[in-house]
Amino acid sequence: MSRFNSLIANLNLLKYRFKTNFSLDFGSGQTRIIVEGKLVWDQPTVLAWHSRLQAVVSIGDQAAALREKTPAHIKLIYPVQKGVIAELDYAAYYLKAVLDQLREQKKIHPWITAYCKVSLPSNASPLEKDQLRQVLDQVGLKTKKVMSSTEAIVSLTPFNKITQSHGVIDFGAQTVDMGIFIGSQLFRAVTLNNISGNSFTQAVIDQVSVEYKLQIGWRIAEQIKHQLLAGKLTLSSKSSPVMTVRGKDTQTQLVKVVRVTAASFQTKFYDLAETLLSELKEIINELPPEVVTQLQEQGFYLTGGCSQLLDWQIMIKESWQMPVIISSTPQLDVVKGLAHGR
């Protein structure tokens, strides 16, 4: 009997050794994967699909680089929309291609069982959670845990000692997730998708068209947002950074080069921000008085790519009378939280 118990113990030890832990932030704009504490993938959630061959042409950065440059038989497909799986088959194709690349790069082992923790927006339905598990199962990842992005963020070490009510806001490409926590326990969660990171990108396209009479694509607008505006657009900016942009003249359709200034986008960006903060404030107003009182002491933690665009600390303090901490690693907080959480 003791030999049998010893054999079982050894088998369990081997099983533990021959498994690996995945943390997957499968976002609308970007997919990030941490394997055993190491970031091994951080690329756009997009694949280029050959409609004639019915095959994946490229994924991630390579596929994103083809935007507005593909022939008719190649489509760019974004399998995740508003934080949830929109195209089950293509989501599986994308993840399978990612895993194949990671195996080729020897960042994961092909014969080791992978257990995956993954995030979803807080308003994800049971069906959407099941669809995610189905996709993970198709590519050989066993679902270990599914949690909201704000719950993943609260798993990070700096939140361990907080016992009072506090808030987390994750500004994603297509969703804004807000979680109100009492200590580590989620008290209230909401997901908004009418204003998000992509709203600011569209505002860039619109403003360049109106002010500079220039037609630009999504890729250029994203470059303007991240390179020209991120961390530089302030309420009282005395100097305005400038960026040279190439596009089509909206009247002649000829190629034109203009120099756009960050100040050109200030009004539209702050209008969007004020609308978003107003919607979130309505949710805060519905909270019990004791929770709001503690929020005024502990405040909010802001993360996600959009958290870097504006003077959120000033705007939220003026609008909500609450303190704000801006993440220093906004793009990685969710996937790091998944990796850190139990």
DSSP string of 22-76? Answer: EEEEE-SSEEEEEETTEEEEEEES-EEEETTTTEEEEEHHHHHTTTTT--TTEEE
What is the torsional sign of CA 305, 203, 320, 123? negative
- The band of 144, judged by pLDDT with boundaries at 50, 70 and 90, is very high
Q: How confident is the model at residue 278, as a pLDDT?
A: 96
Query: How large is the C-alpha radius of gyration of the chain?
Result: 22
| Distance of alpha carbon 10 from the chain centroid | 41
Assess whether pLDDT exceeds 60 at residue 197.
yes
At residue 204, φ and ψ (nearest 5 deg) are -65, -45
DSSP secondary structure, 263-286, as one string: GGGHHHHHHHHHHHHHHHHHHHHT
93-142 pLDDT, tens digit per residue, is 999 999 999 999 999 888 778 899 999 999 999 999 999 999 999 999 99
In single-letter form, the type of residue at position 76 comes to L
Assess whether pLDDT exceeds 90 at residue 244.
yes
pTM beyond 0.85, yes or no: yes
Q: Which CATH architecture has domain 2-47+78-148?
A: 2-Layer Sandwich (3.30)
Instruction: Classify domain 155-195+269-336 at the CATH class level.
Output: alpha beta
d(C-alpha 62, C-alpha 47), whole Å: 9
Residue 311: DSSP 8-state: -
What is the torsional sign of CA 334, 341, 125, 84? positive
Assess whether pLDDT exceeds 60 at residue 1.
no
Residue ranges, CATH 3.30.420.40, the chain: 2-47+78-148, 155-195+269-336
